[in-house]
């Protein structure tokens, strides 16, 4: 008996020593999350909303997930790819962050992706929508919570042809990857349905005077598709209305054109404008009502897709960290958990991830209306479970050229 008792005590001591040697979540120290985001330049309003969404989420969880403290570090990329790359290097190599997140701009997303790959640091992209980040240039280290630029445009193109009965559309949009990809996705399905894109105009980011472009718009089109965001969307919408074209050439556009980040400061010039996106602050579900009310109470404004995007990124991060017991140091284990996250009770509606690290989720067709004295994106149609590849087979889709300024070609221009 004495011998058995001694062996039992020895085994117990061994177990205690082993357990004591394994660091707990708290002993591992804080999880450092580094964000690059545009807080100056033409995309600053978008960037501020992104920071708001993250900060609201982290405050709600007390800056602690899976038993570990969260340290949130923010750097201004100024909307410039070179600056974004410099800032992300500083966060990874100088601050030792475990996870990088952001940015706003597609150009910055493409610029930092090779660095993320080379450093093998996990990345969570809640907004940047550059198509190829989860397609031809996809990385095992990047998981996107937001969207691919052309994703909402694919279902919208055919919907516009079938429901609005427009046959000829002129396009005006940003002259960089984001604008090209949003437009291309729309052009592809609109023309496959039988419509024609008859013009493409590409003003640069930060255009102050759109008059030279507005004067060129073809007056024999049925409508104009506009793709802008932030201050550019505000200026274009006002100048288009002042030119007296709104009644003659109806406006439709990409989702950011009337997103809440700019809709807050718009007026009747955008009444009736129809756009597609995976979020609207006016969505009638319990999770969104709770989120929108809390956001407005804190920031005194309705949430935008930019703030919802980072808030949902927080929810996805929380689910993955809890699944791994807070072990973000094991990058492969953490990334595998990220890609397996499925959420249903979130503001935008259900979300899951495809094999490429991009979300499958609802896309909403929204119409700008004035309700209760303020403008909102009223949902008039829902496309459930939309993939970045729409109804196309991924392998065939990826054999085609990437969407660009000149692809698909403008055969009817």
Whether residues 235 and 181 fall in one domain: yes
276 and 364 Cβ atoms separated by less than 8 Å: yes
Q: Give the Cα separation of 282 and 265 in Å (integer).
A: 17
Q: Give the Cα separation of 307 and 50 in Å (integer).
A: 5
Count of C-beta atoms within a 10 Å radius of residue 70:
22
Which of 292, 265, 290 lies closest to 281, judged by CA? 292
Whether residues 235 and 200 fall in one domain: yes
Residue 182: per-residue pLDDT: 98
Whether residues 371 and 233 fall in one domain: yes
Give the list of residues 6+ apart from residue 284 with CB closer than 8 angstroms, or none. Answer: 379
Q: Does residue 142 belong to any structural domain of this protein?
A: yes
Tell me the CATH number at 177: 3.40.50.2300
Whether residues 392 and 270 fall in one domain: yes
Whether residues 238 and 213 fall in one domain: yes
Residue 2: per-residue pLDDT: 55
Whether residues 191 and 239 fall in one domain: yes
Whether residues 321 and 371 fall in one domain: no
Whether residues 233 and 129 fall in one domain: no
Number of domains within the chain: 2
* Ranges under pLDDT 50 in the chain: 11, 14-23
Residue 4: per-residue pLDDT: 53
Residue 367: per-residue pLDDT: 98
Q: Give the Cα separation of 347 and 211 in Å (integer).
A: 38
Whether residues 59 and 108 fall in one domain: yes
Residue 107: per-residue pLDDT: 87
Whether residues 46 and 70 fall in one domain: yes
Count of C-beta atoms within a 10 Å radius of residue 24:
12
Whether residues 335 and 349 fall in one domain: yes
Q: Give the Cα separation of 118 and 115 in Å (integer).
A: 5
Q: Does residue 18 belong to any structural domain of this protein?
A: no
Q: Does residue 406 belong to any structural domain of this protein?
A: no
| pLDDT tens string 88-147 | 999 999 999 999 999 998 889 999 999 999 999 999 999 999 999 999 999 999 999 999
What crossing angle do the helices spanning 177-192 and 106-119 adopt, rounded to 10°? 110
Q: What residues make up the domain containing 91?
A: 31-149+284-361
Q: Does residue 311 belong to any structural domain of this protein?
A: yes
Q: Does residue 157 belong to any structural domain of this protein?
A: yes
Q: Does residue 19 belong to any structural domain of this protein?
A: no
Q: Does residue 357 belong to any structural domain of this protein?
A: yes
Q: Does residue 23 belong to any structural domain of this protein?
A: no
Q: Give the Cα separation of 234 and 375 in Å (integer).
A: 14
pTM: 0.91
Whether residues 133 and 162 fall in one domain: no
Average pLDDT score, the chain: 94
Residue 356, SS3 per DSSP? coil
């Amino acid at each position: 008996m004495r011998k058995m008792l001694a062996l039992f005590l020895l085994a117990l001591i061994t177990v205690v020593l082993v357990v004591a040697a394994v660091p707990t979540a708290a002993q591992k120290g804080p999880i450092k999350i580094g964000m690059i985001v545009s807080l100056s330049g033409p995309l600053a309003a978008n960037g501020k909303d992104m920071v708001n969404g993250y900060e609201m989420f982290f405050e709600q969880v007390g800056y602690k997930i899976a038993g570990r403290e969260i340290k949130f570090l923010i750097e201004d990329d100024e909307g410039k790819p070179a600056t974004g790359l410099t800032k992300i290097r500083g966060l990874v190599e100088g601050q030792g962050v475990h996870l990088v997140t952001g940015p706003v701009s597609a150009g910055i997303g493409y610029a930092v992706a090779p660095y993320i790959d080379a450093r093998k640091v996990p990345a969570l992209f809640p907004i940047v929508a550059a198509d190829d980040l989860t397609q031809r240039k996809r990385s095992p280290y990047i998981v996107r919570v937001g969207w691919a630029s052309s994703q909402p445009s694919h279902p919208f193109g055919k919907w516009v042809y079938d429901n609005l009965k427009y046959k000829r559309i002129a396009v005006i949009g940003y002259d960089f990857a984001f604008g090209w990809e949003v437009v291309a996705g729309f052009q592809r399905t609109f023309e496959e349905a039988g419509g024609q894109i008859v013009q493409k105009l590409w003003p640069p980011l930060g255009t102050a005077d759109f008059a030279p472009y507005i004067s060129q718009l073809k007056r024999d089109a049925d409508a104009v598709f506009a793709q802008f965001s932030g201050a550019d969307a505000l200026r274009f919408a006002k100048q288009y209305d002042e030119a007296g074209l709104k009644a003659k050439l109806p406006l439709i556009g990409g989702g950011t054109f009337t997103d809440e980040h700019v809709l807050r400061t718009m007026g009747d010039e955008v009444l009736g404008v129809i756009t597609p996106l995976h979020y609207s602050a006016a969505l009638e579900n319990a999770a969104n009502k709770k989120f929108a009310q809390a956001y407005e109470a804190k920031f005194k404004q309705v949430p935008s897709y930019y703030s919802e995007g980072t808030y949902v990124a927080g929810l996805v991060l929380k689910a993955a960290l809890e699944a791994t017991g807070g072990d973000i140091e094991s990058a492969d284990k953490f990334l595998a958990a990220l890609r397996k996250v499925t959420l249903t009770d979130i503001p935008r509606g259900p979300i899951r991830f495809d094999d490429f690290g991009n979300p499958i989720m609802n896309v909403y067709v929204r119409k700008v209306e004035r309700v209760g004295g303020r403008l909102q994106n009223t949902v008039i149609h829902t496309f459930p479970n939309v993939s970045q590849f729409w109804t196309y087979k991924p392998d065939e889709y990826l054999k085609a050229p990437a969407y660009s300024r000149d692809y698909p070609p403008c055969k009817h221009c």
